[in-house]
Structure formats: structure tokens, C-alpha cells
Amino acid sequence: MKRVIIDTDPGIDDALALFLALRSPEMRVEAITTVAGNASVENCTRNAFRVLELLNPEPRPIVAQGAARPLEREHRGAEEVHGSDGLGELSRYQNPDGSPRYPEPREGPAPTHAADLILELIGRYPGEMSLITLGPLTNVAQALLRDRDTMGKVQQVICMGGAVLVPGNTSPTAEFNIATDPEAARIVFTSGLPLTLIPLDVTERVRISEEALRTWVEPLADPPAQFLLDCTAQVIAFSGKFEGFPGIILHDPLTVGVVIDRSLVKTQPLYVQVETRGEITAGMTVADRRPFRAEGRPNVEVAFEVEADRFLTLFMERLCRRS
């Protein structure tokens, strides 16, 4: 059983990743920490509770809210993709009696900052905690700035982010999580922590079509299944309109999947730097792949190959597993 902390900005694919983590027996989600990214940090926290109140996992992860904005830059969300609420405009949906299908969550976050909860858990379980990051790295950077020694006791950090040999998504060269807070990413990439990067190079090869999602989920006919259909409708429409593929790219679920089964990807140790000064390239993850002249020792294991079909089977089987 792996003890994990999931630092996340739900976010539709984050919500799917939380479903996978909470429905996988290999994992014990000790905590969910939220960070401003796809939506405001308040909406991200609200959305994390929406998933928890749907799935009611036992034991229940602690939820702590984190950074409301990047270390130095203004926060720019991704509402055009994830909706103004971060979960595909759930307020659109009503029950037959006209009441909201998705009322405000009943619970609120613990009275501790995400960075402090991350430090507390890594300090409590030295060498045991896997830190999975699905959003900008602001909370992780703040934890490092507060107590680098304790952070060094983390077993591994698995980070969804970056674009190494492929174009970016939020800009020609940069992936959203890194580009939202390049200064935080630079702190994490230079920290010496045992870091594995799950970049667009592999995540964009893991997609689920609208048809496949419906085929798997519709027969379940329970509230979690209805949630999966409702919260994904907007991103499916977006991807159909702008990317020619009505479906979902499973960036964050694959990142969780790698902690469940590391053999799903093949990685390569590389020296990767984060561009923070570029006017056009800010947030770019620059890997030195020169065979004989690479500067700097490898600081990241970068995933370049993925067994996409095997992951999709695992993902859908877990997604549809009743709690």
C-alpha cells in the first residue's frame, strides 16, 4: 500500500485522477492539497470535496487548501477548458424537482496550509510518502522554501507537467502546470528531490473518446457515473471543437497510474531546466539531450514511452469500480 499526497487543481482531468486514486487498492490517499491552476484555489478545494462527497472513501483524506496564486506571477486559470467552476459548469444540472444536482459541498478544508500539511505528512512518514502533483508546483515550492530537509524525506515526487520533445499546450513551448508558475517549477527541479516527470510527451497519447466513456459509464447509472458524464461534457465539446477529437486527454489520471504501476511508462534520466525569463518561452522545460556535452547531472526521470492501451484498461476498470 502506497501512502500518497495528491496536490491538485481540479479541474476535470484532476477529478478523474482522484477517482482513479480513491478507487485503487494500491493507494492510500492520506491528503489532497489544492492549488490555484485550472480554477481559483477556492473552486479547486470545492471540487475536491465534490469528489470526496460522491465517493465517500474510507479512510477519508485530509484536505488542505494552498496557494491562491503563483509565487511571482498573476494567476491565469483555464476556465475555457474546465468551466468557470473548474468542473464543466455543474450548476447547469438540476434534479427532476428543480433542486441542484450538485449542491455546495458540506465540508471545508483543514485549518492548515497545503504546504504545511505536505511537510507534516512527509515528516510523519519519512521515506514512505509519494507526492503526486497534478497542478502548478506552487505548494511544493513553498514547502521546499519552508523546510527543505523534511521535503528530502519524500519517497518520490511524480509530477504531471512539461513538454520536452513535443509542443506545449498553453503556449508553443510550455505546458500549463509549469507555465502557470515557472518560478515554483524551477525551485522543484533544482531541489534534488527524486522527481519523475509525466510530460505531454506521454500524456497526450492517452485519450478516451466520448463514446468509450459513455459505453463504460452509462450502464452504472449511479451518482458517481452521472457526475463523470456531467463534468466531462464541456471538455469533450471543447476538444471536439478545437482539437478535432471529442474526448478527454488523461494527463492527470496517467500520472496517478504511474504510481500504481510504474511499468506503464519508460523514463530517461535527463538534466531538465525550467525557463523563467523567456518572453515567449516562459515555462518551457528544456532538457539537455546532447550525448556528450550535457551540462549538469540528471535531475529528473522523464517519461517518454507509455503503454496507453494497458493504462486505459486499468483506468476504466477502476473508474467503474463501485466504491
Radius of gyration of the chain (CA): 18
Site membership for Ca ion, residue 77 (CB under 5 A): no
- Name the residue number minimizing CB distance to ligand RIB: 176
CA 152 to chain centre: 21
CB of 216 to ligand RIB, least distance (A): 21
CB 116 within 8 A of CB 62: no
Q: Which listed residue (6, 7, 11, 311) binds ligand RIB by CB under 6 A?
A: 11
- Catalytic site includes residue 251: yes
Helix axes 12-22, 41-55, angle to 10 degrees: 40
Q: Does 85 contact ligand RIB by CB under 6 A?
A: no
* Signed CA dihedral, 221, 224, 230, 235: sign only: negative
Residues 104-143 that bind ligand RIB (CB under 6 A): 134-135
What DSSP character marks residue 244?
Answer: S
Using the rule CB under 6 A, is 37 a contact of ligand RIB? yes
Query: 248-271 in b/e burial notation, b at 16+ Cβ within 10 A?
Result: bbbbbbbbbbbbbeeebbebeebb
Q: Which stretch binds ligand RIB (CB under 6 A): 45-53, 99-107, 170-178, 310-318?
A: 170-178
* Shortest distance, position 296 Cβ to ligand RIB, whole Å: 25
Residue in 14, 116, 181, 204 binding ligand RIB, rule: CB under 6 A:
14
**Does residue 175 bind ligand RIB (CB under 6 A)?**
yes
Residues 38-57 that bind ligand RIB (CB under 6 A): 38
For ligand RIB, which is the closer residue by CB, 150 or 257?
A: 257
Shortest Cβ 251–ligand RIB spacing (Å): 4
Whose cell is 473508474? That residue is 319
Cα–Cα distances (Å) from 110 to 3, 28, 56, 62, 154, in that order, read 19, 18, 17, 7, 22
Which residues are 31's β-sheet partners? 5, 62
Task: Please report whether residue 9 would count as binding ligand RIB according to CB under 6 A.
Answer: yes
Nearby residues of 139 by Cβ (< 8 Å), 6 or more positions away: 7, 33, 35, 66, 67, 114, 115, 118
State the number of binding residues for ligand RIB (CB under 6 A).
15
Rounded least distance, CB 203 to ligand RIB, Å: 7
> Which triple of cell numbers denotes residue 188?
522543484
Residues 105-164 that bind Ca ion (CB under 5 A): 134-135
Which of 264, 258, 268 has the alpha carbon at shortest distance from 308? 264
Told to check if 177 binds ligand RIB by CB under 6 A, we report yes
Residues that bind Ca ion (CB under 5 A): 9, 11, 14, 134-135, 252
Binding region for ligand RIB (CB under 6 A): 9, 11, 13-14, 37-38, 134-135, 160, 169, 175-177, 251-252
Catalytic annotation, residues: 251
